[in-house]
Amino acid sequence: MNRSDARMIAEELHKFIRNDVRKAVTEMATVETEEYLNAKQAAVFLGWKLQTLYNRIHDIPHTKNGKSLIFTKSALRKFMERK
């Protein structure tokens, strides 16, 4: 194997690694953005009316960002399993 062959192999390997890393980062970012829900989305996720969600908010795991309520799908799934 000469120097140009080694360089060509290294470039191909670099392309494969870069594409795999890009794909993994994109998937992680998609999962992260899909994980968080606002109150309306959480009500739909739970199959409830929005007012029911607000009436039972003390039972449901959530965080607040200013006046906005933020829910995670994983926390809502665990909540539903308890019921």
Q: What is the pLDDT of residue 24?
A: 82
Query: What residue ranges do the domains of the chain occupy?
Result: 1-35, 38-83
- In three-state secondary structure terms, 28 is helix
Mean pLDDT, residues 12-17: 88
Query: What is the SS3 string spanning 29-61?
Result: HHHHHHHEECHHHHHHHHCCCHHHHHHCHHHCC
Whether the predicted model's global pTM rises above the 0.85 cut: no
Radius of gyration of the chain (CA): 22
Q: What is the pLDDT of residue 82?
A: 85
Query: 43 and 27 in contact (C-beta within 8 Å)?
Result: no
Tokens of 52: 């029911």
Q: Which amino acid would we find at residue 1?
A: M
